[in-house]
């Protein structure tokens, strides 16, 4: 388990899970790679570190939808989509939107009854939100994923982001 977070294998482990999401055709829509500077800017705005596995995911995909979960990320011009004006004419757009929800923005609007060290990164598109408990960051720069929602307050559901991806890929996330 020591080489689990080997910098050489982490990107491939994440890519394998993303590929699996595409294979099983469970609503997969990925963003675009982001620059290291954008990641550093987001971390600075959040005021807490992000797990290494999540940073690796963001650098490669920027965020998006995987296994039916919208993973907040760092939007870019490459992830902008047009909103049509309803006239039916091809190309008539009134504005653009981004299909990647900003992790910074999501946490700015988060009910601050939660301490800052809980960083929301996704939800089940219902009543439950999933957070990194950054107060429990380990030496490998990983931290547990906890769930918040009705009857669930900071209940651990995964050892880290990679474990969370594995669990949602196997439909074994329990809370």
Look at residue 94 and tell me if it is in a domain: no
Angle at Cα 15 formed by Cα 110 and Cα 124, nearest 5°? 30
Q: Which residue has 């055709």 as its token pair?
A: 25
| Backbone phi, psi, residue 4, to 5° | -55, -40
Angle at Cα 169 formed by Cα 75 and Cα 142, nearest 5°? 65
Q: Which of 58-62, 108-112, 136-140 has the weakest average pLDDT?
A: 108-112
Q: Which of 7-16, 63-72, 87-96, 119-128 has the weakest average pLDDT?
A: 87-96
66-101 burial, b if ≥16 CB within 10 A, otherwise e? bbebbbbbbbbeebeeeeeeeeeeeeeeeeeebebb
Give 120 or 111, the one with higher predicted confidence: 120
Look at residue 81 and tell me if it is in a domain: no
How many domains does one find in the chain?
1
Structure tokens at 163: 């474990």
- Mean predicted confidence (pLDDT) in 66-81: 78
Q: How far apart are CA 6 and CA 1, in angstroms?
A: 10
Look at residue 82 and tell me if it is in a domain: no
Look at residue 175 and tell me if it is in a domain: no
Q: Give the list of residues 6+ apart from residue 149 with CB closer than 8 angstroms, or none.
A: 126, 127, 128, 129
Helices (H) and strands (E) in the chain, counts: 5, 9
Q: What is the CATH number of the domain that holds 166?
A: 3.40.1580.10
Look at residue 46 and tell me if it is in a domain: yes
Look at residue 132 and tell me if it is in a domain: yes
Q: Which of 29-38, 65-74, 79-88 has the weakest average pLDDT?
A: 79-88
Q: How far apart are CA 92 and CA 12, in angstroms?
A: 40
Look at residue 162 and tell me if it is in a domain: yes
Look at residue 84 and tell me if it is in a domain: no
pLDDT tier at 126, thresholds 50, 70, 90: confident
3-state secondary structure of 113: coil
Q: What is the domain extent for residue 133?
A: 2-73+99-170
Share above pLDDT 90 across residues of the chain, in percent, rounded to a whole number: 47
């Amino acid at each position: 388990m020591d080489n689990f977070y080997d910098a050489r294998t982490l990107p491939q482990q994440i890519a394998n899970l993303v590929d699996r999401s595409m294979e099983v055709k469970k609503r997969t829509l990925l963003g675009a790679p982001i620059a290291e500077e954008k990641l550093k800017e987001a971390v600075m705005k959040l005021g807490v570190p992000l797990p290494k596995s999540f940073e690796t995911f963001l650098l490669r995909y920027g965020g998006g939808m995987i296994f039916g979960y919208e993973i907040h990320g760092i939007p870019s011009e490459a992830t902008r989509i047009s909103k049509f004006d309803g006239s039916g004419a091809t190309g008539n757009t009134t504005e653009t939107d981004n299909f990647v929800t900003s992790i910074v923005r999501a946490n700015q609007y988060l009910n601050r009854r939660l301490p800052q060290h809980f960083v929301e990164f996704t939800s089940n598109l219902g009543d439950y939100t999933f957070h990194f408990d950054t107060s429990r960051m380990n030496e490998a720069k990983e931290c547990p994923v906890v769930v918040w929602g009705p009857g669930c307050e900071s209940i651990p559901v995964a050892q880290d982001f990679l474990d969370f991806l594995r669990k949602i890929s196997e439909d074994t996330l329990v809370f």
